[in-house]
Structure 1
Amino acid sequence: MNVSLVLFTADLRLHDHPPLRAALDGARQVVPLFVRDRAVDRAGFAAPNRRAFLADCLRDLDAGLRERGGRLVVRSGELVEQVCRVAAEAEADEVHLAADVSAHARRREESLRRALESEGVRLHVHDEVTTAVGPGTLAPASSDHFAVFTPYFGHWSRARLREPLGAPRTVPVPEGVGSEELPARKDLAGLSPGLAAGGEEEGRRRFASWLRSGVGTYEDGHDDLAGDVTSRLSPHLHFGTLSAVELVHRTRQVGGLGAEAFVRQLAWRDFHRQVLAARPGAASADYRTKHDRWRSERTAHAEIEAWRAGRTGYPLVDAAMRQLSHEGWMHNRGRLLTASFLAKTLYVDWRIGARHFLDLLVDGDVANNQLNWQWVAGTGTDSRPNRVLNPVTQAKRFDPDGAYVRRWLPELADLAAPAVHEPWKLTGLDRAALDYPEPVVTLSEGLARFRRARERP
């Protein structure tokens, strides 16, 4: 009786799952395996919000497998050791795995391949499981990757995507392969109070609802902070409960400017993955150094803590940071603004901000998080590395009546625009009545410091 093993990583779904389909096509029985990798814990990536969302995803995946006559096998430990152990227990002759782009994932893949081959087990790695277009598929003639998004998007838009696969009807799992108890959200502490639910069923429900009632307004409203018409599907893409390939296909079928704008965002996600695949060191080092002399945690401690707590004195920055703390998620416009404020107005090392985001974001993703931070900090792929986002200008443009600020800063709830965006301009009793700090730095001082550091006039 031939058995295949499917190692689930960031692809926690049954719909459009090429490794699972290949395993089922090539074997009479399949072991669906997830390993709670100790290396992830050691690297500090097992943040509470992501662990809770992961627990939801694993329970949903197990339920879906049981509906099809199977079950999920969960093990903890060193990933290579656990996969080899389960393969031996099940007498599996092949293992199927989705490709990934981080340096850790690539080292893990090579170690796993060597260990399995020494036991006579084949490893099959499948591309375009976590992306729509695989990293390395598209490249200019002069380089191994695209460093600028616009030409990449042109090629990406013309690429032929594979057709999405349906979920399997049955998943026969051999007896005798033991599993640990599934993790549960209720057993975790330190979670954001408004953390969303995870799992493929929830992701598919949310996507279907958004296609019906959200995508049509996305082009005009995706930067409207109070309107919040973004899809909020990023956590599901991060954990792979939704397929990027399926999302592109189904969104294009709807059509319209909103659909085109959303598909462009999916292309940005693939763009960052192909950059990181080609330059894995960009997860922690400048992609294009500006030789910055960043302020450190020691030299800018008070300002950094004010930024983390949402007490900088700039209401839109603080509202976005408090949304992050409460939901484990932040509107994309808020991410751009808060990152620009830390890296450029406060001139603090972008890695400090990226680490804080990874500590809280349920969609915390090495490629998207680190490379978006570098884009904003001017050390990444942005063609205008010295641009600085002004929080007051951004507030008046993307939260004109102050609804977003008042939602997250109750101490300013009684202020109307424009005062809600510039409370430091209030005087006398009006200012004294507010339990809200003065700005940690004036915008002119912050801009002057940044320009001096970058040696700009």
Structure 2
Amino acid sequence: MSTTVVLFTRDLRVSDHPALHAAVTEADRVVPLFVVDPALVRVSARNRIAYLLEALAELRGLLRERGGELVVRQGDTVAETVRIVAETGAQAVYLSADVSAAAVRRARQLTEAVRAAGAHVRTFPGVTVVPPGALRPAHGDHYQIFTPYLNAWRAAQWRSPRPAPERVRLPEGLVPGPLPGAELIRLGTGVLAPQREQGGPRTARERIRAWLAQPNQDSRFGCHLHFGCLSPLEVALVAREHPRGALLLRQLALRDFHHQVLQAFPRLPRADYRPRPIQWRDDDSAFAAWCSGRTGVPIVDAGMRQLLWEGYVPGRIRMLTATYLTQVLRIHWKRGADHFYSLLVDGDVANNYGNWQQIAGTGGVPRPARRINLYRQAERYDPSGDYVRRFVPELRSISGSAVHHPPVPRPGGYPPPLR
């Protein structure tokens, strides 16, 4: 009897999972496997680890409903996968292709080790709508500017989504292993947000239903896409059929754009994608004020405090907080991007660092970043001032949009704007 191991990474779902679908279709027995790798845990935000624990529990439940199981091991991903291959006599390991430096290195090492064990590795799409590298300009190996990529992305033919398997047959006698516990969270980076988004495919589906009922730019799909609890293709198909889905489609295209940039430029998290002669400042006190939401600019402080409270920031506010750090305080984009990455539930290497570089003027933009009027943007995004008052309690006595321009002296000890 043929056996295939499906190595789950950040594709924690059963619906539209090409690797799982192929394994169930082609093999007699399937081993769904997740490896808790301490090397990855140590560089992951505590908010993401907490989400992961919930997502793994739901994934195990979904597989059990189909007669299967989620096999969990702890240790080096490659070594533990090879052990499962040897234990089950598997002929193949299937997994979703990914583009971060760590994922590429893992796939290369896994291919070599599994081949040495007498089996083979096969990768599948599923992390993005359009696979990175599938769209190429006439000259060059990838799109360096978003708008041409967006046009190609819109014209591309997408693959068909794969149905969830009706049944998953596990080899007999295989011990599933316990799910990791909450003690794993303390090994991560950053702080655990009191009001972070819950993890798992069911919560992700609820987000889809909420968006369909009231489409808006603050969909909060990011963490569910990052962990693969939602298929990006399925979200894109929903958005394409919705009369108000254009903005969500553009966000998904930008996500794909950053993934294909990261594939071509693995140094994206630490080096300028498009180097420019920018004079950055080293100002630890200003950076600390920005991190804690004490800059004296209400819309920026509200966003930074929401990040601490929820492990999440709406897209528009991410732009404004990053603009303030890089264009007003002139602090290097990498410091801001690293801080976001240490806290965001949806912290994604490609999206986080790609977006930060876009805002800083070193990313996939043809011109240096233009200066944005933060106060005008604040009044447009938060015309009633409710968003600021929600996260900056010192300013709750100020009504309406006047909260964006607090009086002097400022109430509650709220500081003057930092420059």
Q: Normalised by the shorter chain, which TM-score bucket?
A: over 0.9
**TM score, norm. by length of structure 2:** 0.96
Superposition deviation, residue 201 in structure 1? 1.2
The residue number in structure 1 matching 2:67 is: 69
The answer as to whether partners of 2:41 and 2:49 remain within 8 angstroms in 1 is: no
The residue number in structure 1 matching 2:117 is: 119
The answer as to whether partners of 1:375 and 1:385 remain within 8 angstroms in 2 is: no
Q: What amino acid is aligned across from residue 338 of structure 1 in structure 2?
A: T
Q: Report the 3-state secondary structure (helix = DSSP H, G, I; strand = E; otherwise coil) of the residue aligned with 1:284.
A: coil
In structure 2, how many angstroms separate the alpha carbons of the residues matched to 1:197 and 1:177? 30
Q: What amino acid is aligned across from residue 9 of structure 2 in structure 1?
A: T
In structure 2, how many angstroms separate the alpha carbons of the residues matched to 1:437 and 1:179? 54
In structure 1, how many angstroms separate the alpha carbons of the residues matched to 2:35 and 2:253? 29
Q: Does residue 411 in structure 1 map to residue 401 in structure 2?
A: no
In structure 2, how many angstroms separate the alpha carbons of the residues matched to 1:117 and 1:186? 35
Superposition deviation, residue 399 in structure 1? 1.1
* Stretch deviating more after TM superposition (184-193 or 54-63): 184-193
Show the 5 A alignment for 1:418-429: 418-423=401-406, 425-427=407-409
The answer as to whether partners of 1:52 and 1:184 remain within 8 angstroms in 2 is: no
The residue number in structure 2 matching 1:96 is: 94
For the aligned residue pairs, the C-alpha RMSD in angstroms reads: 1.5
In structure 1, how many angstroms separate the alpha carbons of the residues matched to 2:373 and 2:145? 24
In structure 1, how many angstroms separate the alpha carbons of the residues matched to 2:145 and 2:48? 30
Q: Does residue 337 in structure 1 map to residue 335 in structure 2?
A: no
The residue number in structure 1 matching 2:274 is: 288
The residue number in structure 2 matching 1:438 is: 416
In structure 2, how many angstroms separate the alpha carbons of the residues matched to 1:188 and 1:93? 34
Unpaired runs of 5+ residues, structure 2, are none
Q: Report the 3-state secondary structure (helix = DSSP H, G, I; strand = E; otherwise coil) of the residue aligned with 1:166.
A: coil
**TM score, norm. by length of structure 1:** 0.88
Name which of 142, 163, 186 aligns with 1:166: 163
Q: Does residue 207 in structure 1 map to residue 217 in structure 2?
A: no
1:348-390 Cα offsets, whole Å, 9 max, x none, are: 1111101110111000000000010000111111233231223
Superposition deviation, residue 72 in structure 1? 0.5
The residue number in structure 2 matching 1:176 is: 173
Q: What amino acid is aligned across from residue 92 of structure 2 in structure 1?
A: E
Q: 1:117 to 1:439 in 2, by over 3 A?
A: same
Q: Does residue 18 in structure 1 map to residue 15 in structure 2?
A: no
In structure 2, how many angstroms separate the alpha carbons of the residues matched to 1:2 and 1:63? 24
The residue number in structure 2 matching 1:60 is: 58
In structure 1, how many angstroms separate the alpha carbons of the residues matched to 2:226 and 2:341? 12
Q: Report the 3-state secondary structure (helix = DSSP H, G, I; strand = E; otherwise coil) of the residue aligned with 1:283.
A: coil
The answer as to whether partners of 2:200 and 2:224 remain within 8 angstroms in 1 is: yes
In structure 2, how many angstroms separate the alpha carbons of the residues matched to 1:139 and 1:384? 21
Q: Report the 3-state secondary structure (helix = DSSP H, G, I; strand = E; otherwise coil) of the residue aligned with 1:434.
A: helix
In structure 2, how many angstroms separate the alpha carbons of the residues matched to 1:22 and 1:386? 44
In structure 2, how many angstroms separate the alpha carbons of the residues matched to 1:69 and 1:313? 56
Superposition deviation, residue 186 in structure 1? 8.0
The residue number in structure 2 matching 1:445 is: none
1:139-164 Cα offsets, whole Å, 9 max, x none, are: 11111011111111111111111111
1:239-273 Cα offsets, whole Å, 9 max, x none, are: 0001111111122223x1x2122111111110111
Show the 5 A alignment for 1:229-244: 230-244=218-232
Q: Report the 3-state secondary structure (helix = DSSP H, G, I; strand = E; otherwise coil) of the residue aligned with 1:123.
A: strand
Q: 1:288 to 1:197 in 2, by over 3 A?
A: same
The answer as to whether partners of 2:378 and 2:404 remain within 8 angstroms in 1 is: yes
Q: Report the 3-state secondary structure (helix = DSSP H, G, I; strand = E; otherwise coil) of the residue aligned with 1:318.
A: helix
The answer as to whether partners of 1:86 and 1:177 remain within 8 angstroms in 2 is: no
The residue number in structure 2 matching 1:249 is: 237
1:184-208 Cα offsets, whole Å, 9 max, x none, are: 4587454201011110111112212
In structure 2, how many angstroms separate the alpha carbons of the residues matched to 1:436 and 1:202? 37
Q: Report the 3-state secondary structure (helix = DSSP H, G, I; strand = E; otherwise coil) of the residue aligned with 1:40.
A: helix
Name which of 310, 315, 329 aligns with 2:293: 310
Superposition deviation, residue 89 in structure 1? 0.8
Q: What amino acid is aligned across from residue 266 of structure 2 in structure 1?
A: P
In structure 1, how many angstroms separate the alpha carbons of the residues matched to 2:233 and 2:114? 29
Q: Does residue 147 in structure 1 map to residue 144 in structure 2?
A: yes
Superposition deviation, residue 410 in structure 1? 1.0
Task: Tell me how many residue pairs correspond in the alignment.
Answer: 415
Superposition deviation, residue 418 in structure 1? 4.1
